[in-house]
């Protein structure tokens, strides 16, 4: 069914960028439970000679190229790779100019007024809004900066238009700077590389009873 979309660019090879875009669109469709769209994109990829393996999260082309599907594990929905090797987190905003005493629930209420903030899936904060308040490494005090992750990319874009340059709620004298968050591809949010280091935590536990 459905006419197959006109065969595209004169039989040239499909580029890895095009594959990544389609894979990302399919992930987004699956994340929003639009399985019909996800299947359509999978068929589109197959028509281009690209096979998707959801188990190993890889794709393979008929001419032998292969690549990793970016989703989960450190890549969030709507990540975009920038020219300087950092990722812009399309559904996450970076906020500067917050009052340093702003609490997480205040931030959630204020920035959640335009659309749903993503809920954390991490065990220690399960179900809480995905908000990260940056602290000064030396003093441990909040720096007036934070990131907020929305459920979808459109809300994050609206947040910039809506909140950038405005005060934080009723707090006079505050002026927010809001942009799409970025991070280096290798690190975690706060460039501290927290994740991936410090192995050995998990092992401990057992021992005993043997």
Tens of pLDDT, residue by residue over 146-200, are: 999 998 888 999 999 999 999 999 888 899 999 988 765 544 444 333 334 344 4
Percentage of the residues of the chain whose pLDDT score is greater than 90: 34
Structure-block tokens of residue 68: 């990793």
Whats the size of the chain, residue-wise? 210
The pLDDT of residue 1 is 53
The pLDDT of residue 172 is 85
Rounded Cα distance between 144 and 134, Å, is 7
Tens of pLDDT, residue by residue over 114-134, are: 999 988 777 666 777 789 999
The pLDDT of residue 55 is 80
Its pTM stands at 0.49
Percentage of the residues of the chain whose pLDDT score is greater than 70: 70
The number of beta carbons lying within 10 Å of the beta carbon of residue 37 is: 15
Structure-block tokens of residue 9: 């660019």
The pLDDT of residue 177 is 96
171 CB-near residues (< 8 Å, 6+ apart): 99
Rounded Cα distance between 47 and 9, Å, is 13
The pLDDT of residue 49 is 92
pLDDT at 81 over 60: no
The pLDDT of residue 207 is 42
Please report, in angstroms and rounded to a whole number, the separation of the first and last CA atoms in the chain.
Answer: 61
Structure-block tokens of residue 120: 């954390």
């Amino acid at each position: 069914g459905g006419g197959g979309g006109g065969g595209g660019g004169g039989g040239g090879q499909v580029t890895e960028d095009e594959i990544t875009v389609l894979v990302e669109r399919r992930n987004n469709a699956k994340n929003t439970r639009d399985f019909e769209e996800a299947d359509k994109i999978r068929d589109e990829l197959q028509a281009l000679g690209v096979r998707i393996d959801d188990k190993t999260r890889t794709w393979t082309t008929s001419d032998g190229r292969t690549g990793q599907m970016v989703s989960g594990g450190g890549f969030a929905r709507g990540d975009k790779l920038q020219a300087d090797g950092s990722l812009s987190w399309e559904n996450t905003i970076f906020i500067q100019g917050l009052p340093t005493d702003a609490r997480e629930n205040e931030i959630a209420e204020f920035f959640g007024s335009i659309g749903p903030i993503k809920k954390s899936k991490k065990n220690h904060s399960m179900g809480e809004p995905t908000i990260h308040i940056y602290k000064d490494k030396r003093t441990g005090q909040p720096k007036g900066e934070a990131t907020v992750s929305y459920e979808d990319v459109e809300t994050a874009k609206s947040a910039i238009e809506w909140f950038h340059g405005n005060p934080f709620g009723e707090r006079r004298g505050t002026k927010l700077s809001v942009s799409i968050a970025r991070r280096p591809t290798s690190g975690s949010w706060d460039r501290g590389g927290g994740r991936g280091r410090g192995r050995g935590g998990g092992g401990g536990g057992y021992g005993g009873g043997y």
